[in-house]
Amino acid sequence: MVFDRTVVAAQVSAGFIVNAIIRLADDQKAAWVLESARMDGGKNCMTYARRTCVKTYKNCDAALNDAAAVGMKKVTVLMS
């Protein structure tokens, strides 16, 4: 499923997404992913525009910028 900036921003403004989690990618070193935590307890990773592949970031700041761009107010950064 696609969870790009447009979809996530709409879900944040509708109140379906409660916060963001930035964590290290499972399969890559020095890559970060941005997850959105939904009200029902589920999580979805941010994807590239109109695609289903997970978007990875080279640094945490880039993921924080995307979280701010979609309107997320609470962001948790997991370092491990």
- Check whether 64 has a pLDDT greater than 90: yes
- Check whether 1 has a pLDDT greater than 80: no
pTM: 0.88
Q: For residue 24, what are the domain limits?
A: 5-78
Question: What's the mean pLDDT in 6-29?
Answer: 91
Identify the CATH number of the domain in which residue 35 sits. Answer: 3.30.420
Residue-level pLDDT at 2: 87
- Residue 75's pLDDT band, with cuts at 50, 70 and 90, is very high
6 residue type, one letter: T
Give, in order, the Cα–Cα distances in Å from 72 to each of 29, 34, 62. Answer: 25, 11, 14
CA distance 38 to 35: 10
- Residue 30's pLDDT band, with cuts at 50, 70 and 90, is confident
Question: Considering its fold, how many domains does the chain have in total?
Answer: 1
Among the listed residues 43, 33, 37, the one whose alpha carbon sits nearest the alpha carbon of residue 15 = 37
